[in-house]
Structure 1
Amino acid sequence: MRMAVAGGTGWVGKLVVARAHAAGHEVVVISRSHGVDLMTGGGLDEALEGVDAVIDVANVETLNRATAITFFETTTRNLLAAEERSHVRHHVVLSIVGVDRVDSGYYAGKRRQEELALAGPIPATVLRATQFHEFAAQMIGRIPGPVKLVPSMLSRPVAASEVAAELVRLAEGPAQGLATDLAGPEVLRMASMVRRLAKGKLVLTVPAGRAMATGALLPAGDFHRGEITFDEWVAAR
């Protein structure tokens, strides 16, 4: 297959690109550094020529509701319009477990992305995954100093490599609409994860909202269970 990965130069996107290559697919990377602008649509028609499936993992780092909605709505509309012109057969989106139960600004943008994809002209699949193991390490890097303030989040963290593998597997098949959630093998608090990585640092929890703290980020029904535990991921870093 010929697959395109929107956001293919990001840290998740690189894993998806590598996985798709390993599975024998031809991969097109959609990013500004590859001459494609998702916000304007520039370069999309050329990038999607002959593409069978698009995996969208493009992202924006923001907590602002308006910024998140604008980004995900604009990029999704541009992708879907270009996919329709190029006769793409499958549109796959990475989303978040609990996105419909947590009312944060970023999650509002992801909900809008899901809505547009599922109602769009291209058969679509939305994969909701839990927080990645890598999120704990990213959080440490974003907070300078000896004290780390970590949101009170309860999740089933999953390895990003397993998420990438599932996205490629889904893209290889027919559209499923809202796919079965993907979550990690164990329930952990984010503060516990950060403490395992930030040795010698003081880790304090801060409120993240009742929903996040009490299980809204956990799968509510059936889910595919990742195999890599957080400790295994830490040991392999």
Structure 2
Amino acid sequence: MSAKIAVAGATGRLGRHVVGVLTERGHEVVQMSRATGVDLVTGDGLAEALVGVSVVIDVASWHASEQEAAAEFFRTSAARLHEYGQAAGVARIAAASIIGADRATTGFVAAKKVHEELLLAGPLPVRILRAAQFHEFVGQLLDWQPGGTAYIPALPTQLVACRTVAETLVDLALDDTVAVGPIPEIAGPRRESMAAAAALLGSRRCIEVISVDGSYLPDADLAAQGAFLPSAHARLAGPTFEAWLATQR
């Protein structure tokens, strides 16, 4: 049965996949982003966008990693979606988060913890999906270090494809029979090193990847201990990073 679904952050990395999955499944999609005239900070265009919408899928994100700026964005966006969504008669909000957000103490992941808490405290029912780092994130790490050499932390990860996250999030958002339980998680099929994954991509780009310990990163000790790896109840789904990379230009 088709429905009218709004996607906050529709033009972002994950949002584009969510829109694609919904469209393929025959749903009417309202794309919400600044590019489409909807601002989650000011509320501009939000009331109009949510007319007739049954579910909001929130994959909007902040463009930088600084904790407080990201947390302030999430505070505001959560409040706006609840306020305008309740007024429009939206049934629920489904949102993407990050595995380990509940354990984070600093950095962007800690800002996602604030996001989760504020969404869950609002008047509308909320479902959250925690995801591992995306396959696409590896390329971003290389992009941040222009030149022929990149220093990438050898921290454990269980990379997952954006498309896989989008499919799982849409399932969670639209299933009327979801049982109460732990916040669901989605991750890739196997554990690997971020540096090793980056080296695979780096070889394609003629970039030398040098593995470093990552101790300079927020919550590096927690990451090294596996705090941001999937828990026992997580859904694990392919493709692996290597298989996914083989499909990319």
Tell me whether 1:215 sits opposite 2:237 in the alignment.
no
Is this contact kept in 1: 2:156–2:224, CA < 8 A? yes
Deviation at 1:62, TM superposition (A): 2.2
Partner of 1:119: 121
Shift in CA distance, 74/176, structure 1 to aligned 2, threshold 3 Å: farther
Partner of 1:231: 242
- Structure 1 segment 1-237 matched on structure 2, within 5 A: 1-174=3-176, 179-199=183-203, 200-204=206-210, 205=212, 206-207=214-215, 208=217, 209-237=220-248
- The alignment partner of 2:83 has SS state of helix
Deviation at 1:12, TM superposition (A): 1.0
Is this contact kept in 1: 2:7–2:19, CA < 8 A? yes
Is this contact kept in 2: 1:35–1:43, CA < 8 A? yes
Paired positions, count: 237
What TM-score do the two structures reach when normalised by structure 2?
A: 0.91
- The alignment partner of 1:95 has SS state of strand
Q: Which moved more, 1:197-206 or 1:219-228?
A: 197-206
Read off the aligned partner of 2:186 and give its amino acid letter: L
**RMSD of aligned residue pairs (Cα, Å):** 1.4
Read off the aligned partner of 1:196 and give its amino acid letter: L
Deviation at 1:20, TM superposition (A): 0.3
Read off the aligned partner of 1:13 and give its amino acid letter: G
Instruction: State how far apart, in whole Å, the 2-side matches of 1:88 and 1:94 are.
Output: 18
Structure 1 gap segments, 5+ residues each: none
Deviation at 1:137, TM superposition (A): 1.2
Is this contact kept in 2: 1:68–1:108, CA < 8 A? no
Q: Which moved more, 1:210-219 or 1:172-181?
A: 172-181
Deviation at 1:176, TM superposition (A): 5.7
Instruction: State how far apart, in whole Å, the 2-side matches of 1:195 and 1:98 are.
Output: 25
Read off the aligned partner of 2:241 and give its amino acid letter: F
Instruction: State how far apart, in whole Å, the 1-side matches of 2:36 and 2:80 are.
Output: 17
Read off the aligned partner of 1:224 and give its amino acid letter: R
Is this contact kept in 2: 1:125–1:176, CA < 8 A? no
Deviation at 1:179, TM superposition (A): 3.3
Deviation at 1:123, TM superposition (A): 0.8
Read off the aligned partner of 2:99 and give its amino acid letter: V
What TM-score do the two structures reach when normalised by structure 1?
A: 0.96
Deviation at 1:211, TM superposition (A): 1.0
Instruction: State how far apart, in whole Å, the 1-side matches of 2:230 and 2:93 are.
Output: 23
Instruction: State how far apart, in whole Å, the 1-side matches of 2:35 and 2:63 are.
Output: 18
Deviation at 1:192, TM superposition (A): 0.4
Read off the aligned partner of 2:234 and give its amino acid letter: F
Q: Which moved more, 1:44-53 or 1:57-66?
A: 57-66
Determine what percentage of the aligned residue pairs are the same residue: 39
- The alignment partner of 2:173 has SS state of helix
Instruction: State how far apart, in whole Å, the 1-side matches of 2:52 and 2:39 are.
Output: 19
Deviation at 1:11, TM superposition (A): 1.7
Read off the aligned partner of 2:148 and give its amino acid letter: P
